[in-house]
């Protein structure tokens, strides 16, 4: 059994992580840390756990009793935490925040996108789990980047569920405002663009095109639905402008070994992945443009599902362990 500690366990990602781990066949939660909730039953704070666990939050952090620690902090707090605390060297760290997603000489965190970094993940001690939008947008573009085909600006629209905005009630997550509503935010400036660009450049060193990303607030709780328009050069059927069939093959090949990412031949709808760790990708081709659709559950493949997938890889167990989730479907 992998012995697990969770920091920031009372937030949304903390809760979803616990919901996953209580059913994981090879995981054992040793501590779920939350100062403000110390002593309270986890099941009283996190929906869906009543009857499943007697676990209580603790303000203790017994790092020497665990194999791995998940950081479920808000962004920026992971780095600060590590400056103020020492985690034993043998304890692996999986950070769900963005603090270490961009490679730098000052840290050794591996960017945990299994579709491109499986080998590094299997070897790493410290892992930076990708962002939700970043995961979805990258999975739609990576095969093209590998083929060097992103040569024009990409128009990206991605609609996220309200859980992406976290647990604290604010104006834009007030039910009365958000239900039946649509809006955009951080247009062209979303912070995930950095990690997206980092991955794309890894595969297509020459990448110069802009990723024009418009994030939408959706009036649903879970999921990201993303479309991406890519323009090709030259006549259709030439290497720089593949046919629809060749594009589909390219994606199928790229994701042939992916445990949870699949190319699908028909149009997608978001609920096909809600409450699963899957990413599904579909492409339509119109003349010299491709329209890529990619969908994930923002809390699972976009956060803790991928984190558990990474944990499985880091500990050498079945990549799918604990992630055989029944889709919500409705």
Shortest distance, position 94 Cβ to a copy of itself, whole Å: 19
With 0-12 CB in 10 A as exposed, 13-18 as middle and 19+ as buried, what is 174? exposed
With binding defined as CB under 8 A, does residue 330 bind a copy of itself? yes
x/- contact string, 177-216, with a copy of itself (CB under 8 A)? xxxxxxxxx-xxx----------------------x-x-x
**From residue 23, how far is each of 17, 19, 106, 163, 329 by CA, in Å?**
10, 7, 36, 22, 20
| 211-217/183-184 β-pairing | antiparallel
Q: Considering Cα of 43, then 46, then 49, then 53, what sign does the dihedral take? A: negative
CA torsion 144-149-153-156 (nearest 10°) is: -10
With binding defined as CB under 8 A, does residue 162 bind a copy of itself? yes
- Contact criterion met (CB below 8 Å) for 2 and 313: no
Shortest distance, position 136 Cβ to a copy of itself, whole Å: 12
DSSP state of 275: T
* Beta-carbon count within 10 A of 74 CB: 15
Residues 214-253 that bind a copy of itself (CB under 8 A): 214, 216, 218-223, 225, 227, 229, 231
Shortest distance, position 329 Cβ to a copy of itself, whole Å: 4
Q: Which residue has the tokens 């780095």?
A: 79
> Closer to a copy of itself at the Cβ: 103 or 155?
155
Choose the binding region for a copy of itself from 63-71, 130-138, 154-162, 236-244 (rule: CB under 8 A): 154-162
> Closer to a copy of itself at the Cβ: 1 or 50?
50
Of 72, 124, 132, 136, the active-site residue reads 132
Shortest distance, position 213 Cβ to a copy of itself, whole Å: 10
Shortest distance, position 151 Cβ to a copy of itself, whole Å: 15
Please name the helix (run of DSSP H) or strand (run of DSSP E) that holds residue 282, with its range, or none: strand 279-286
With binding defined as CB under 8 A, does residue 5 bind a copy of itself? no
Active site residue 132: yes
Residues 37-76 that bind a copy of itself (CB under 8 A): 44, 46-51
Q: Which residues are catalytic?
A: 132
């Amino acid at each position: 059994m992998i012995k697990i500690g969770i920091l920031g366990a009372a937030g949304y990602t903390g809760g979803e992580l616990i919901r996953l781990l209580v059913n994981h066949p090879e995981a054992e939660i040793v501590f779920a840390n939350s100062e403000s909730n110390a002593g309270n039953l986890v099941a009283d704070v996190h929906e869906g756990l009543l009857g499943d666990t007697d676990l209580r939050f603790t303000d203790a952090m017994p790092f020497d009793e665990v194999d791995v620690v998940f950081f479920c902090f808000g962004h920026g707090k992971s780095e600060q935490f590590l400056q103020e605390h020492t985690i034993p060297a043998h304890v692996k760290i999986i950070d769900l925040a963005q603090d270490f997603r961009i490679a730098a000489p000052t840290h050794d965190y591996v960017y945990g996108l299994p579709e491109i970094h499986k080998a590094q993940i299997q070897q790493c001690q410290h892992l930076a789990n990708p962002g939700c939008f970043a995961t979805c947008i990258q999975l739609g573009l990576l095969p093209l980047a590998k083929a060097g085909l992103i040569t024009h600006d990409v128009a990206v629209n991605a609609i996220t569920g309200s859980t992406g905005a976290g647990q604290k009630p604010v104006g834009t997550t007030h039910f009365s405002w958000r239900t039946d509503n649509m809006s955009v935010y951080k247009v062209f400036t979303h912070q995930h663009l950095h990690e997206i660009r980092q991955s794309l450049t890894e595969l297509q060193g020459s990448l110069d095109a802009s990723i024009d990303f418009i994030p939408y607030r959706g009036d649903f709780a879970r999921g990201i639905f993303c479309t991406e328009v890519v323009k090709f050069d030259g006549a259709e059927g030439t290497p720089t402008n593949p046919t629809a069939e060749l594009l589909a093959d390219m994606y199928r090949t790229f994701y042939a070994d992916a445990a949870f990412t699949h190319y699908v031949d028909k149009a997608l709808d978001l609920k096909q992945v809600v409450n699963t760790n899957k990413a599904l990708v579909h492409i339509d081709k119109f003349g010299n443009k491709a329209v890529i659709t990619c969908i994930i559950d923002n809390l699972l493949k976009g956060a803790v599902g991928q984190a558990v997938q990474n944990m499985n890889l880091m500990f050498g167990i079945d990549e799918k362990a604990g992630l055989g989730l029944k889709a919500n479907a409705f």
